[in-house]
Amino acid sequence: MANVRKVRCPQCGGEALWAPENKWRPFCSERCKQIDLGAWASESYRIPVQAEPSEFDGELPDQPAS
């Protein structure tokens, strides 16, 4: 394995081999891969968003009479 690229494990920060031999890549181990999967499953990873104010500012538009 000459010139095998090493990357940081996104879970623990340790070294992980970026090669077909590492079946958990980009993670360093099965444990780190499972921790990451659990975080996704529990919705721990979220992208913060800021709600846009609506054009009605929370009020409902006038409904046509039926």
Rounded average pLDDT per 10-residue block, the chain, 66 residues: 86 95 95 95 86 64 62
pLDDT number for residue 50: 83
Backbone phi, then psi, for 17, in 5-degree steps? -75, 135
Does residue 22 sit in helix, strand or coil? coil
* Rounded (10°) CA dihedral 49, 34, 11, 42: 20
Q: Which residues of 10-34 are buried (b: 16+ CB within 10 A; e: fewer)?
A: ebeeeebbeeeebebbbbbeeebbe
pLDDT number for residue 25: 93
Helix (H) or strand (E) holding 16: strand 15-18
According to CATH, what is the number of the domain 5-41?
3.30.50.10
Where do the structural domains in the chain lie, given as residue ranges?
A: 5-41
pLDDT number for residue 66: 59
